[in-house]
């Protein structure tokens, strides 16, 4: 292996220090971190970073907002749910003033440039709302490039709904329809009760000229795909963000293999027509 190759491999696994400058508890066991990175940091909606907690390990976390600039630094947001040793350490112990390692960004991201002129449908369940949030922000920022925007968001309970401080404001985006759902009823909840996939029946859009972006538990995404297809949405216009265990983030270790794809390198966003042969096979 030559020196140039060694440097390229080393760059793939090198991380940058990121300082936590803000945090928000979005829901029980779910926290958003605001990370400041020195200099510019180019990352696209739908991509992910490997966040390194010193002494514990790394976790892949999707971008949860469009990056912003403060002076000569970039601020990025990651929303993290406590489900394992590293994520528990993040949600329970990492706070303002902490430093974490940041490696990335990795993955392909949502194909927003390729769907200009089309209606946009966003379907998110649970923590799957986080990778979809930048789509809403991007469409709002470049509103004249897209048609109607439908945002369908669901959670197990009203308390589990992420970004409660802003989702209701999405209806103020021109030509936008917001539908919220909770699996269970609760006092004060004035929106739909039931699974988020039921909201697909109320989409206000042209299925033949729409791009649909879906993220959430895999069972929920499968139901969403079936309902979307039954309504006439095209297979090659439905995009899914998949989640698999990852270690390297660059397609080397093989941990995230999905059929002949690697979720970290070929995804995490996949056109449904590309993966339909694998989507319904148990254990892949």
The answer to whether the annotation marks 215 as part of a ligand binding site is: no
Q: What is the Cα–Cα distance from 207 to 228, expressed in whole angstroms?
A: 8
67 touches 55 (CB < 8 A): no
Q: What is the Cα–Cα distance from 102 to 81, expressed in whole angstroms?
A: 18
Count CB atoms within 10 A of the CB of residue 57.
14
CB contact set of 164 (below 8 Å; sequence gap of 6+):
26
Length of the chain as a residue count: 284
> 123: phi > 0 → left, psi -120 to 50 → alpha, else beta; which?
beta
- H/E run at residue 207: none
Q: What is the Cα–Cα distance from 282 to 269, expressed in whole angstroms?
A: 20
- Residue ranges of alpha helices (H) inside the chain are 3-13, 85-93, 129-141, 164-167, 218-230, 263-266, 272-279
Q: What angle do CA 134, 174, 116 make, to 5 degrees?
A: 55
CB contact set of 88 (below 8 Å; sequence gap of 6+):
82
DSSP 178-203: EEEEESS--TT--SEES-GGGGGGG-
In the numeric block, which tokens belong to residue 14?
A: 């090198």
List the binding residues for [2Fe-2S] cluster.
Answer: 248, 253, 256, 264
Binding site: what residues are annotated? Answer: 248, 253, 256, 264
């Amino acid at each position: 292996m030559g020196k140039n190759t060694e440097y390229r491999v080393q760059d793939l696994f090198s991380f940058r220090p990121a300082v936590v400058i803000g945090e928000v508890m979005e829901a029980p066991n779910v926290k958003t971190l605001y990370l400041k990175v020195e200099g510019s940091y180019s990352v696209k909606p739908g991509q992910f970073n490997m966040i390194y907690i010193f002494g514990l390990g790394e976790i892949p976390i999707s971008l949860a907002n469009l990056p912003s600039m403060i002076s000569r630094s970039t601020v990025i947001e990651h929303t993290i749910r406590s489900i394992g040793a590293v994520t528990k350490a993040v949600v329970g112990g990492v706070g303002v003033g902490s430093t974490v390692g940041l490696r990335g960004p990795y993955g392909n991201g949502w194909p927003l440039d390729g769907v200009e002129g089309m209606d946009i449908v966003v379907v998110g369940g649970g923590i799957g709302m986080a990778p979809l949030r930048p789509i809403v922000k991007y469409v709002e920022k470049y509103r004249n490039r897209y048609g109607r925007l439908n945002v369908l968001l669901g959670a197990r309970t009203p308390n589990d709904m992420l970004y409660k401080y802003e989702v209701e404001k999405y209806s103020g985006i021109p030509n936008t329809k917001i539908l919220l759902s909770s699996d269970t009823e609760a006092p004060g909840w004035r929106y739909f009760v039931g699974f988020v996939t039921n909201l697909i029946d109320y989409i206000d859009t042209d299925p033949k000229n729409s791009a649909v972006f879906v993220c959430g538990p895999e069972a929920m995404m499968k139901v969403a795909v079936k309902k979307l297809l039954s309504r006439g949405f095209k297979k090659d216009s439905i995009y899914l963000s998949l989640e698999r265990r990852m270690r390297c983030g660059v397609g080397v270790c093989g941990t995230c293999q999905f059929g002949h794809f690697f979720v970290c390198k070929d995804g995490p966003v996949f056109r449904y027509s590309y993966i339909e042969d694998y989507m319904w096979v148990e254990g892949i």
